């Protein structure tokens, strides 16, 4: 772990921030769960060879903090008709169970800054995964923009480039949401740089079909098909 990793992790836990769980698709939207409220999201990723499940539960602590639990990378393979796993900690390790937290550290009328991340623990302690990010958020009446950067270890992302050969371990992430019908229908898109398995462009939409329930779907286009593939993303979200 280099000095950049250590500095980010130190800053992360100094402010108790770890991975925003309210996402556009993969990029955190930096919304914070309200105090004593519960946020839940079930995501299903459909690919040509498998289907993967990611589950998130968050609890609002107040003072712009949230904490939660993740179950990531539960993957069913179509060919073997079995749940599959990977324990090679030089590549992505899955499935795993992790904790998440988030802290909004600055907030003005239209701008906010959030720091967060996630730490996940597969079957072996040596395979622990982390993903840390810093997000800038700008919000107008009907549209939100997210621009930030991330750092993660190989167990979470694989050993492929995040941004460039000069900045191997640092990547950028972008997201946007546009409200088409007031509090009902939204266009969403996000992008994560690099050549890792999560380095994709995803675009789609979200429909609020009940007071607390949102259905989202999107289409994934990978930055490189060596580490990812085209796929469909479906989410059911409970918001307090």
**pLDDT of amino acid 15:** 34
pTM reported for the whole predicted model: 0.85
Q: Name the token pair of 126.
A: 């040596």
Q: Which fold has domain 3-238?
A: Porin (2.40.160)
Q: Is residue 207 pLDDT above 60, yes or no?
A: yes
Percent of the chain with pLDDT over 90: 62
Q: Residue ranges per domain, the chain?
A: 3-238
Inter-residue contact 45 to 54 (CB < 8 Å):
yes
CA distance 87 to 172: 27
DSSP class of residue 23 equals: B
- Smallest Cα–Cα separation from 100: which of 72, 125, 124? 72
Three-class secondary structure of residue 94 per DSSP: strand
Three-class secondary structure of residue 223 per DSSP: coil
Averaged pLDDT score across all residues of the chain: 86
What angle is formed at CA 137 by the lines to CA 115 and CA 192, rounded to 5 degrees?
Answer: 75
Element (H, E) at 40: strand 38-46
What angle is formed at CA 36 by the lines to CA 146 and CA 177, rounded to 5 degrees?
Answer: 20
């Amino acid at each position: 772990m280099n000095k950049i990793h250590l500095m980010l992790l130190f800053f992360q836990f100094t402010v108790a921030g770890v991975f925003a769980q309210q996402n556009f698709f993969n990029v955190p939207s930096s919304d914070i769960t309200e105090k004593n409220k519960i946020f839940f999201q079930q995501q299903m990723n459909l690919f040509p060879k498998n289907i993967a499940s990611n589950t998130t539960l968050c609890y609002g602590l107040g003072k712009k903090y949230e904490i939660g639990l993740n179950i990531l990378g539960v993957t069913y393979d179509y060919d073997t008709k079995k749940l599959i796993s990977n324990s090679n900690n030089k590549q992505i390790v899955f499935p795993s169970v992790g904790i998440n937290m988030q802290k909004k550290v600055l907030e003005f009328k239209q701008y906010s800054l959030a720091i967060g991340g996630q730490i996940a623990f597969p079957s072996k302690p040596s395979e622990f995964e982390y993903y840390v990010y810093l997000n800038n958020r700008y919000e107008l009446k009907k549209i939100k923009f997210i621009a930030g950067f991330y750092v993660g270890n190989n167990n979470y992302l694989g050993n492929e480039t995040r941004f460039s050969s000069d900045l191997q371990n640092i990547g950028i992430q972008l997201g946007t949401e546009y409200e088409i019908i007031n509090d009902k229908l939204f266009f969403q898109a996000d992008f994560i740089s690099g050549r890792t398995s999560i380095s994709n462009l995803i675009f789609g939409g979200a429909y609020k079909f009940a007071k607390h329930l949102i259905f989202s779907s999107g289409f994934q286009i990978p930055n490189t098909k060596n580490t990812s593939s085209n796929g469909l993303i479906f989410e059911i979200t409970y918001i307090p």
